[in-house]
Amino acid sequence: MKLTPLNGNSQQLDGGAMFGNAPRALWSRYLTPDALNRIPLACRCLLVETAGRRILLETGIGAFFAPELRERYGVVEAGHVLLDELAALGLSDADIDVVVISHLHFDHAGGLLAAWDGGPARLLFPNANYVVGREAWQRALNPHPRDRASFIPDMLTLLQASGRVLEVDGKVPDCLPANWRFHFSDGHTPGMLLTEIPTAEGPLVFAADLIPGAPWVHVPITMGYDRYPELLIDEKQALLEGLLAREGGLFFTHDPHLASAKVVRDGKGRFGVEKWNCPGLG
């Protein structure tokens, strides 16, 4: 099995929104804001090559936004960075067999669409099954007013028309390795799917927006975007306890500096991370 982190474009978002209940005096120690109070964020994906299959966990924000919306949402690059990174590996979107999406907010699924060119939206990854949690899929189709703007209606229509959406509610589908497992989280958005991959160094969990980066490993830290912050804290605590006991690690989508890390706890009982030796992710 080969694991390769890939960039899926990057963003600059308001630090107060990303750290929710934490004051700027605290969160600015983690990530330095610019003059507009924005912090740098990755939209990182994970390519897994195993048993003759190429599996992509998420697609990042991509480049589907028109220029004025790209500026509003702080998307840094105009081009589709994920496609460029695949090309550097000698691959294209047509070479991907499965795309696993934790949830369908545009910063995690926007890369499913081709870059904006003024024409209709176009779905990429023509040979892939799209795996998503059943509840997360239903949330995208029937969003709450609070997060309706986080979804891409044209993309959902294209996904439905493809006939290749696999809604899962716990069981790992046949298109993924049988020894993978799923965790589900409702704190950020209902039905978010967290994929756990076994590695020789321990289990690796694609943490999505439950723990978007190393600073959010600190249990009380949540985002202003989270639907149910107290539930998210409980879910985070449980996941971290489990990974600590199994000497596991986290893969971060939004951390601008760190792709993955091993879960640790200090003498005061506070969770943190340290570098680990997972090949390709250290």
pLDDT tens for the 282 residues of the chain, in order: 999 999 999 999 999 999 998 999 999 999 999 999 999 999 999 999 999 999 999 999 999 999 999 999 999 999 999 999 999 999 999 999 999 999 999 999 999 999 999 999 999 999 999 999 999 999 999 999 999 999 999 999 999 999 999 999 989 999 999 999 999 999 999 999 999 999 999 999 999 999 999 999 999 999 999 999 999 999 999 999 999 999 999 999 999 999 999 999 999 999 999 988 777 775
- Do the domain assignments include residue 247? yes
Q: What is the pLDDT of residue 9?
A: 95
Q: Residue 102 class from Cβ within 10 Å (0-12 exposed, 13-18 middle, 19+ buried)?
A: buried
| Domains held by the chain: number | 1
- Do the domain assignments include residue 31? yes
- Do the domain assignments include residue 154? yes
Q: What is the pLDDT of residue 282?
A: 56
- Do the domain assignments include residue 280? no
Q: For residue 103, what is the domain's CATH number?
A: 3.60.15.10
How far CA 21 is from CA of 26, 216, 233, in Å, comes to 10, 12, 12
Q: What is the pLDDT of residue 277?
A: 79
Q: Is 51 left (phi over 0), alpha (psi -120 to 50) or beta?
A: left
- Do the domain assignments include residue 222? yes
Contacts of 241 by beta carbon, 8 Å cutoff, 6+ apart: none
Residue with tokens 């995208």: 140
Q: What is the pLDDT of residue 279?
A: 74
- Do the domain assignments include residue 63? yes
Per the structure, the complete domain to which residue 207 belongs is given by 2-274
- The pTM of the full predicted model, rounded to 2 decimals, is 0.96
Q: Are 225 and 264 in contact (CB under 8 A)?
A: no
- Do the domain assignments include residue 282? no
The residues with which 185 forms a beta bridge, in sequence order, are 192
- Do the domain assignments include residue 279? no
Q: Are 270 and 229 in contact (CB under 8 A)?
A: no
